[in-house]
Amino acid sequence: MHGAPDEEDLRPIDPGTLRRVFATYVWPYRRRVASAAAAMVLVSVTGLLPPYLLGVAVDRCVIPGDLRGLTLLALVYVGVHLVNWLGSYYQTYTMSWVGQRAIYAMRRDLFAHYQRLHIGFFEKHPVGVLISRATNDVESMSELISSGIVYIINDALTLVGIVAIMFYLDVRLALLSMMVLPLVILLATRFRSRVMAAYREVRRQVAKMAANLQETISGMRVTQSFVREEVNRTRFDATNRDNYRANMRAAYLFSTFVPLVDLVGALGMAVVIWFGGLSVIGALRGAAGAVAGPAGAGGLTAGELIAFLTYVTRFYQPIRDLTVVYNLAQQATAAAEKIHAILDTPPGVEDRPGARDLGPVRGRIVFRDVTFAYVPGEEVLRGVSFTVEPGQRVALVGPTGAGKTSIINLLGRFYDPQEGAVLIDGQDIREVTQRSLRRQMAFVLQDTFLFSGTVADNIRFGRPAASLEECVEAAKAVGAHEFISRLPEGYDTQVGERGGNLSVGQRQLVSFARALIADPRILVLDEATSSVDAYTEVLIQRAMDRLLEGRTCIIIAHRLSTVRDADLILVIDDGRIVERGRHAELMAAGGLYRRLYELQFSSSEAGGRAPHRSGPPGPAVGGRPDREETRDPAENIAPRRGG
């Protein structure tokens, strides 16, 4: 089972990480951001006016009893809040729009890059982790772009405005209010690295849990078959517990930091209340020793103290907000590191500069002294050379891990060999574009994969422009039309995720029709009939006999009975071709091929073969898979790499 990696991409924070994200995904919308920034200035200015208006109302209207002036100030107060609301609406909507456009582009780039990455990348990384990159991590970036920028600009402007007004009202009280700032900065510095580490761990545990869930759900049939539910539950509980602890650690740090800032703010407020109250009392009494007010007024008025206290309260609110933004930035930075770790991963196999399209081919394949290793120093193919003439059927035979699937991987240029060359019609496939190369081929893989959608959608997957009539024709050619016609909605029947509504044999036939409708010059059958019952195998063999004329076909099959009519059989062992020839020649030679053949058929006779069906394969949608879809006891299943 896949184990979640230790997230080697959790590198130390790069100050340029967020700049790179903003330069790539936010800068294209700079005009909208600029208009939102203008709205933020308006919001900040109108947000600073209410406390000042309140102080004016107390000193000039309430105490003197000026009802007309009080009414006017009340209307101005409402107008200021109305303008503030309009500005807030515009800035919030605009930045949300920018944030959604940015994550749309980010997910688009991630998805496109996933499709360019080499197959080996997906063998090393659990699917759940890769899904988490495009969902949870991208969403963290959205929160920073949509909300974080708004908070940063608004709070920065608000802080500057509040400080300016506080110094205007009373310099000494303003300086007293600032005395607690060093303590706030110290707290922020102390918590910074701890919060970042905590959120890194949160992202790691989320990805780990997603990978565990994806793997468990995908393998539910195996889990239930081996009665592994309790073991898997225990394993998931451990992962879930680690995720819980990581989140609680982050919550503890954050819930400790914010109240500490509030406590420091309360200390500052207490100082202002005492000294400010003393100043007002002194002014009211006309005491000579009172704290000097603005412009030498001899003390603060009651309205000015109310306004000042309101500003002090608001002074700590932006600081608290900025801690929230800092929290968002920590999460977003950790997420951005992971996203860019994916985007910075080279595709592995890329088109060379100047690569040309491969035109229509006859289908002649040449492997010329090919040596290949997935891991440097661990060769799985050594000096492999062979030629397949146009229209020939060539079978690759050998024990598990011999290198059969690796030959197919090189032919489709999913990997490049370290030595030697693969040629099609005399052209080195490294000199042509991958798209044009693969358009000349069709693959029926060992692991039959169908996409969610209808049966017809899956058949025309290899040629989206194909009509329904062409889909029916391809299905008839491989013997799939009969069972498809019996499905509840025929070709419009939904196959379900991974084709789960169809039996193994039915999925195999649909995948074969999918390959044929692409009309390839080269057809690759990797275990194409090893997962089906005898009746379905006969249907496929008949379809191959009728339809493979003029096409080059390479077959990997462990049922050696299916390759007896091949034009050429290549016997591979330990990465080398140890025998080659037709069935009769190899049997007469008495080598590895004969031993494999005799072992397989002696095992089949000893274990008993499932009877051939006289009727069509598989149940209708929702039925149980064919019970007779068994394999020979001696059959070896090739691994994804070496096989």
Question: What is the spatial distance between Cα 250 and Cα 300, in angstroms, rounded to a whole number?
Answer: 44
Residues 6+ apart with CB under 8 A from 216: 223, 232, 236
Q: Is the pLDDT of residue 576 over 90?
A: yes
Same domain, 335 and 391: no
pLDDT for position 145: 86
Query: Does residue 370 register a pLDDT over 60?
Result: yes
Cα separation, 425 vs 366, in Å, equals: 8
For the ranges 430-444, 490-504, 593-607, the one whose mean pLDDT is highest: 430-444
* Residue 187, pLDDT score: 77
CATH number of the domain that residue 414 is part of: 3.40.50.300
Segment among 182-196, 256-270, 375-389, 525-539 with least mean pLDDT: 525-539
Same domain, yes or no: 105 and 240: yes
367 and 333 within one domain: no
556: in domain: no
Distances (CA, A) of 640 to 71, 405, 527: 81, 7, 12
Domain assignment present for residue 268? The answer is yes
* Residue 362 confidence (pLDDT) above 80: yes
> Is 380 part of any domain?
yes
The pLDDT value recorded for residue 625 is: 37
pLDDT band at 256 (very low <50, low <70, confident <90, very high): confident
Q: Are 273 and 309 in contact (CB under 8 A)?
A: yes
Does residue 503 form part of some domain? no
- Selected residue with higher pLDDT from 552 and 318: 552
Please, how many CA atoms are within 13 Å of residue 448, restricted to the half-sphere of its CB? 26
Looking at residue 544, what is its pLDDT? 65
Which of 70-74, 212-216, 381-385, 472-476 is predicted with the least confidence, judged by mean pLDDT?
212-216
Lowest-confidence segment of 38-52, 114-128, 236-250, 584-598 by average pLDDT: 114-128
Rounded to the nearest 10 degrees, what angle do helices 67-116 and 30-57 cross at?
A: 160
pTM for the predicted model, two decimal places = 0.67
Percent of the chain with pLDDT over 70: 84
Residue 372's pLDDT is 94
Of 169-183, 318-332, 524-538, least confident by mean pLDDT is 524-538
User: What is the overall mean pLDDT for the chain?
Assistant: 80
Domain contains 399? yes
- Lowest mean pLDDT segment, chosen from 49-63, 192-206, 441-455: 192-206
In this structure, the strands spanning 393-397 and 552-556 are: parallel
Q: Which of 548, 471, 450 is nearest to 513 (CA)?
A: 471
pLDDT value, residue 603: 58
Residue 144 maps to a domain: yes
Q: Which of 343, 374, 391 is the last residue of a domain?
A: 343
The Cα 270–Cα 421 span in angstroms is 81
- Whether 227 and 272 map to the same domain: the answer is yes
pLDDT higher than threshold 50 for residue 93: yes
Per-residue pLDDT, 257: 77
Whats the size of the chain, residue-wise? 643
Does 367 lie in the same domain as 337? no
Residues 329, 263 share a domain: yes
pLDDT, position 527: 62
Residues 6+ apart with CB under 8 A from 480: 506, 509, 510, 512, 513, 539
418: pLDDT confidence band, cut at 50, 70 and 90? very high
236 and 195 both lie in a single domain? yes
The structural domain count of the chain equals 2
CA distance 366 to 422: 6
Tell me what pLDDT residue 129 has: 80
Q: Specify whether 279 is located in the same domain as 393.
A: no
pLDDT at residue 461, rounded to an integer:
86
Residue of higher predicted confidence among 188 and 106? 106
Q: What integer pLDDT is reported at residue 560 of this predicted model?
A: 76
Final residue belonging to a domain, choices 311, 343, 375: 343
Residues 6+ apart with CB under 8 A from 472: 481, 491
pLDDT, average across residues 103-109: 91
Select from 285, 311, 343 the last residue of a domain.
343
Is the pLDDT confidence value at 571 over 90? yes
Band the pLDDT of 473: cuts 50, 70, 90.
confident
Q: Which residue has the higher pLDDT, 414 or 129?
A: 414
Mean pLDDT of the 452-464 span: 87
- Over 70: is that where the pLDDT of 25 sits? yes
The top-scoring range by mean pLDDT among 349-363, 440-454, 515-529 is 349-363
Looking at residue 184, its pLDDT comes to 77
Rounded Cα gap, residues 383 and 405, in angstroms: 16
Q: Measured between alpha carbons, how far is 494 from 452 in angstroms, rounded to an integer?
A: 7
Closest CA to 550 of 522, 587, 528: 522
> Is residue 566 over pLDDT 70?
yes
Residue 393, SS3?
strand
**Nearest C-alpha neighbor of 431 from the set 420, 419, 423:** 423
Greater pLDDT, 388 or 641:
388
Higher pLDDT: 79 or 638? It is 79
138 and 64 in one domain? yes
- Residue 586's domain comprises 363-440+566-609+626-643
> Could you tell me which residues are beta bridge partners of residue 397?
571
CA 187 to chain centre: 35
Q: What is the mean pLDDT of residues 482-507?
A: 84
In a domain, 466, yes or no: no
The 10s digit of each residue's pLDDT in 108-145 is 999 999 888 888 788 788 777 888 888 888 888 888 88
Are 21 and 148 part of one and the same domain?
yes
Which position has the token pair 């591979």?
A: 572
What is the pLDDT, as a whole number, of residue 618?
Answer: 39
> Beta strands of 272-340 (E only): which ranges?
none
Q: Quote the pLDDT of residue 634.
A: 31
CA–CA dist 637, 627 (Å, integer) = 19
Query: Would you state the pLDDT for residue 612?
Result: 40
pLDDT (average), residues 25-39: 91
| Nearest one of 396, 442, 470 to 642, comparing CA atoms | 396
What is the structure's pLDDT at 464?
87
Domain shared by 272 and 385, yes or no: no
Residues 372 and 334 in one domain: no
User: What is the maximum span of the chain, computed from C-alpha positions, in angstroms?
Assistant: 123
> The domain that contains 262 carries what CATH number?
1.20.1560.10
Q: Label residue 427 by pLDDT band (50, 70, 90).
A: very high
> pLDDT tier at 383 (50, 70, 90 boundaries)?
very high
| pLDDT for the residue numbered 285 | 67
Q: What percent of the chain has pLDDT over 90?
A: 21
User: Does residue 554 belong to any structural domain of this protein?
Assistant: no
Q: What is the pLDDT of residue 530?
A: 55
Q: Is the pLDDT of residue 4 over 50?
A: no
